[in-house]
Amino acid sequence: MSSTDGTAPPTAPPDGPRDEKLELGPVGHLGDRLFAGMARGSGVLVVAIVAFVGIFLLALAIPALANNESSFLFSRIWEPGANPPQFGIAALFYTTVISSIIAMAIAVPIAVGVALFTTYYAPKRLAAPVAHAIDLLAAVPSIIYGLWGILFFAPILRPVIDGLGSALGWIPLFQKSVTDNVGVVFTASVVLAIMILPVVTAISREIFAQTPVAHREGALALGSTRWEMIRMAVLPYGRSGVVSASMLGLGRALGETVAVLIILSVPNGNDPWTSSIFAGGETFASKIANNAAEFDSPDKTGAYIAAGLVLFVVTFLVNSAARLIVARSGPGGKRPRRIKRIGDKPQSEGATL
């Protein structure tokens, strides 16, 4: 019925020598040159902006650091206005990191669960609304999270804090606080967890949906249940993606300002420092935002800028680590080359970022 091959068209052009010379001269690559220039320019611009931010921070921080009488990295004192100025970031660093890590520990399991639910468990008409609702969480302004967190959520969380404090109070991290203050690090962490949930979920969902059909069917054909299929095929494939998604979420939590600023109660200057997450505290971002009105002398400003520089470096490192993990492993484990050779087309099931 159909022709067996596509060769030999019915009317072949007549053979024979041709008179005219072939045009093989330059055809004009203006578009190429323009576009290459623009692309290169944009790339350089982005790098330059990052570099300038770093340089700005350094230039303002160095003089203040030179005058600092305290150990900048290891002191918990923060009195940049004193004479001589004394300031250290240890307390800020601790609160920033511990609140973000707790936020990540809460958010990542939920995000992975939601991502798996929307990709492999939920019927299509349920999966889309759930995914959409999670995405909407990202659209809520952080000031709203802050207000909601302190006015509505913190009182609800209070019994949880009391319960944890009673049960695990012998661990310094969970030491029961003396006041019944609700603006504690733990509350901020839970709110941060809600805030980073959308990004972690979206990336995990996308990577899970891309698990090649061949791997999934391979697991199912061996007689695995859906959960066993997820464990054998989906999770190994998505592991690196989930790790990098968590790191991106962590980076976001580290730098979050307004919500944390509103929720966290600033400890009294005379109170002894505590490592408990059931006490108030200040993160880099909330400390700087709280004291923006104080930027009157170069020394004071420089102290806050120096704190900002540390935050910049930490988030930069976390994000770089995330990128490195993605670049090194790629989806599907160690061997992106292999996926190419086998020729599996990754299938995406309406996953969006």
Partner 1 sequence: MAKRIEVSGLNVYYGDFKAVEDVSMTIEPRSVTAFIGPSGCGKSTYLRTLNRMHEVIPGARVEGKVMLDQQDLYASGVDPVAVRRVVGMVFQRPNPFPTMSIFDNVASGLKLNGVKDRKKLTEVVERSLHGANLWNEVKDRLDKPGAGLSGGQQQRLCIARAIAVEPEVILMDEPCSALDPISTLAIEDLIEKLKDRFTVVIVTHNMQQAARVSDQTAFFNLAATGKPGRLIEMGPTKQIFSNPNEKATEDYITGRFG
Residues that bind partner 1 (CB under 8 A): 1, 4, 124, 212, 214-225, 228, 232-233, 236-237, 332-335, 338-339, 341-344
Nearer to partner 1, 158 or 239 (CB): 239
Supply the minimum distance, in Å, between the C-beta of residue 232 and partner 1: 6
Nearest distance in Å: CB 52, partner 1: 42
Complex with partner 1: residue 78 or 237, whichever CB lies closer: 237
Distance CA 334, CA 4 (A): 42
Q: Which is nearer to partner 1, 81 or 218 (CB)?
A: 218
Nearer to partner 1, 29 or 231 (CB): 231
Task: Count other C-beta atoms under 10 Å from residue 89's C-beta.
Answer: 23
Only one residue has tokens 């923060």, namely 78
* Distance of alpha carbon 217 from the chain centroid: 32
Contact predicate 348/210, CB 8 Å: yes
CA separation for the pair 250, 104 (Å, rounded): 6
Quick one: tokens of 125?
A: 């008409």
Give the span between the Cα atoms of 270 and 82, in whole angstroms: 16
DSSP secondary structure, 113-138, as one string: HHHHIIIIIS-HHHHHHHHHHHHHHT
Cβ closest to partner 1, residue 212 vs residue 281: 212
Using the minimum distance from each CB to partner 1, give the nearer residue, 255 or 332: 332
What does DSSP assign to residue 249? H
Residue 96 and residue 307 in contact, taking contact as beta carbons nearer than 8 Å: no
The least CB distance from residue 226 to partner 1, in Å, is 9
Q: How far is the CB of 67 from partner 1 (least distance, A)?
A: 54
Nearest approach in angstroms of CB 319 to partner 1 is: 25
Beta carbons of 329 and 258 less than 8 angstroms apart: no
- In the complex, the smallest distance separating the C-beta of residue 108 from partner 1, rounded to whole angstroms, is 20
